[in-house]
Amino acid sequence: MEGRVAIVTGSSRGIGRAIAVELGRDGGCVVVNYAGREEEARETARLVEQAGGRAIVEQADVSRLEDADRLVESALAAFGRLDIVVNNAGITRDTLLLRMKEEEWDAVLNTNLKGAFHMIKSAARPMMKQRFGRIVNIASVVGLIGNPGQANYVAAKAGLIGLTKTAARELATRGITVNAVAPGYIATDMTAELNSEITSKMVEQIPLGQVGQPEDVAAAVRFLASDAARYITGQVLNVDGGMVM
Amino acid sequence: MSDTFERVKNIIVDRLDVDESKVTLDSTFKDDLGADSLDVVELIMELEDEFDLEISDEDAEKIRTVGDVVTYIEQHQ
């Protein structure tokens, strides 16, 4: 990753933080993005530097196109190029379909799906000029199989998979690959909110018999962002202990 | 030859990697210059920057030849 420049959206904590640190390892340059948690984003940047990378911290709400543009510009201004975009920023507003408010639907779709659209749109231009780019969208296995109580989140994640495949087709001739990583049940603040009954039921569904760690997802992202994955595009890589096959 | 044409030509030569002599007012982007649809989008974005104007998708769709671009730019500046 030496000299490679990456933006990781939503990297103040959880999976995003692990991805930022992984991409920073051995000399990678990382734009650490956060929407609201500046302190935690600064801690991510510190961890990136500790891993041997360079980092800047940038506030941006990717659901807004102008914020996404600014984020891309900040990478170009600080590091002179942009090689990797990881669309990780995501929120949840879980409730059963019948109880779901329009605002809850919109908020999740705006950040999780429209945010990725904005980022791809903004980043594609410098990547096309470079004739090189790696875009990795963080989807979810629920986007493949559905999940009660998450109509908004699941729709956004399934949408992200469709967006991945279309962007992959449109940008392929410019040396830009677009792939998705679909985490299963990963130990983060987001899943810590689930009660222990749900947790133990979910673990029963996992052939490898344990919850995953953010680093497991980060390793898959690093692979797809590397030169080793140059012949892979439009794919969804599940990192879920075998939960969905 | 107009100054606009020269500037447009330079961008086309650079972006599409074609020989200067192939770029005339009559050359079509797709058939004569071998541009695919993404090339055309890239060119249009670059021309927008170069000439500081905005070409709507509707107008962009009508552009077939280098002359179309030059005329469009001269009319909209």
Handedness of CA B27, B50, A176, A230 (dihedral sign): positive
pLDDT value at position A62? Answer: 98
Chain A contacts of B35, Cβ < 8 Å?
A: none
A67, pLDDT greater than 80: yes
According to DSSP, the β-strands at A54-59 and A29-34 are parallel
Cβ neighbours of B38 in A, within 8 Å: 128, 170-171, 173-174
Contacting B residues, span 9-68, partner chain A, CB-CB under 8 Å: 36, 38, 42, 45
Closest CA to A134 of A226, A21, A200: A226
Confidence grade of residue A26 (pLDDT, cut at 50, 70, 90) = confident
Is B38 in contact with A125 (Cβ distance < 8 A)?
Answer: no
In angstroms, what separates the C-alpha of A122 from chain B's closest C-alpha?
12
B36 to A173: CB separation less than 8 angstroms, yes or no: yes
Structure confidence at residue A238 (pLDDT): 98
The mean pLDDT of chain B is 90
- Is the ipTM above a cut-off of 0.85? no
Work out the minimum CA distance from B11 to partner chain A, whole angstroms.
13
Residue-wise pLDDT for A128-156, tens only, equals 989 999 999 999 999 999 999 999 999 99
Q: What is the average pLDDT across A211-240? A: 97
Distance from CA of A159 to the nearest CA of B (A): 23
Q: Catalytic amino acids of A?
A: 153
Calculate mean pLDDT across residues B9-29.
Answer: 92
Computed over every residue of chain A, the mean pLDDT equals 96
Mean pLDDT of B43-58: 90
- How large is the average pLDDT for residues A99-111? 98
pLDDT digits (tens, 9 = 90+) for A204-218: 999 999 999 999 999
Distance CA(A179)–CA(A217), nearest Å, equals 13
DSSP state, residue B21 = G
Known catalytic residues of B are 36
Measured between beta carbons, the chain A residues lying within 8 angstroms of B45 are 125
How many Cβ pairs closer than 8 A exist between chain A and B? 8
Q: Is the pLDDT of residue B17 over 60?
A: yes
Q: Do B42 and A170 touch (CB under 8 A)?
A: no
Query: B38, A173: Cβ pair inside 8 Å?
Result: yes
The whole-number average pLDDT for the span A187-205 is: 82
Residues B12-41 have a mean pLDDT of 91
Whether residues A174 and B38 touch (CB distance < 8 A) is answered with yes
Sheet strands side by side (includes A176-183): A54-59, A29-34, A5-8, A84-87, A133-138, A176-183, A236-239
At B1 the pLDDT is 56
pLDDT digit string (tens) for B34-50?
998 889 988 998 999 99
Average pLDDT rounded to a whole number, residues A165-177:
97
> What is the C-alpha separation between B15 and B43, in angstroms, rounded?
7
Given a cut of 90, is residue A202 above it in pLDDT?
no
Residue whose C-alpha is closest to residue A16's, from A52, A42, A36, A41 = A41
Residues A82/A5, Cβ–Cβ less than 8 Å: yes
Q: Average pLDDT in the A80-84 region?
A: 97
If you measure CA to CA, which chain B residue comes closest to A124? B42
Q: Look at residue A195 and tell me whether its pLDDT is greater than 80.
A: no
Q: Do A128 and B42 touch (CB under 8 A)?
A: yes
Q: Best residue in B38, B41, B48 to probe A by mutation, most A CBs within 10 Å?
A: B38
pTM, 2 dp: 0.91
Determine whether the interchain pair B38/A128 forms a contact, defined as Cβ–Cβ distance below 8 Å: yes
Look-up: residue for tokens 């990780």?
A88
Give the residue-averaged pLDDT of B23-44: 91
The stretch A26-40 carries a mean pLDDT of 96
State the smallest CA–CA distance between residue A174 and chain B in angstroms: 9
